[in-house]
Amino acid sequence: MKTEQNSGFTLIEITVVISLIGIMFFFAVPRFRNALLTDNVNNTSRWIIGKVRVLKEYSTSKQKLCILHVNMDSNKIWVSDETMTQEDLQKAHEKGFEIPEDVKVINVEYPQKGIISAGQADICFYRAGYSDKALIHIQGDDERKISFLIEPFLPKVKLYKKYVDFEDS
């Protein structure tokens, strides 16, 4: 006599597994959301890195002098070029990247000009494909500091997950 055995799962086993998965998601999803979606230091870092790359390419391809304006007082970053009218400059400032409240631009450092920690610092991107050498330093509410090194002839920005100056870089 042959007996058939069910090789499936019981309703209780499936319920326990689904409950455990639900509990894991309950605790894991808020952490992922906070880490990935609301980390303003990382969002600001991505914006700066992306904008510098675009400006280096744009200034060369369009043969225009472009300027990245970093204003420490208003916590805003925007871009202009040499062909903009006064009205266009005002619009570019208004539409600029507003740095979130929990992120602060500490200063912008140049090898020759020194450190600018108040007002506005301008980083130029020239038609020939090079830029001013500069370090942009930002800090989050959690005291995490990040430095961005903009090299004159390199298309990429070097990211340091700490405060560095020109002697350290």
| Residue 2 belongs to a domain | no
- Give the range of the structural domain holding residue 51, as residue numbers without chain letter: 40-160
Q: For residues 147 and 107, give the distance between their C-alpha atoms in angstroms, rounded to a whole number.
A: 10
| Residue 70 belongs to a domain | yes
Non-local CB neighbours of 140 within 8 Å, separated by 6+ positions: 40, 41, 102, 103, 104
pTM of the model: 0.76
Average the pLDDT over 90-94 and give the result.
Answer: 93
Q: For residues 166 and 149, give the distance between their C-alpha atoms in angstroms, rounded to a whole number.
A: 9
Average the pLDDT over 80-103 and give the result.
Answer: 93
**Span of 25-39, 65-79, 143-157 with lowest mean pLDDT:** 25-39
Tell me the average pLDDT of the chain.
88
Which pLDDT value is given to residue 11?
87
Q: What are phi and psi of 16, to 5 degrees?
A: -65, -45
CATH number for the domain including 76? 3.55.40.10
Which pLDDT value is given to residue 28?
72
For a pLDDT cut of 70, what percent of the chain falls above it? 90
Q: How many structural domains compose the chain?
A: 1
| Residue 64 belongs to a domain | yes
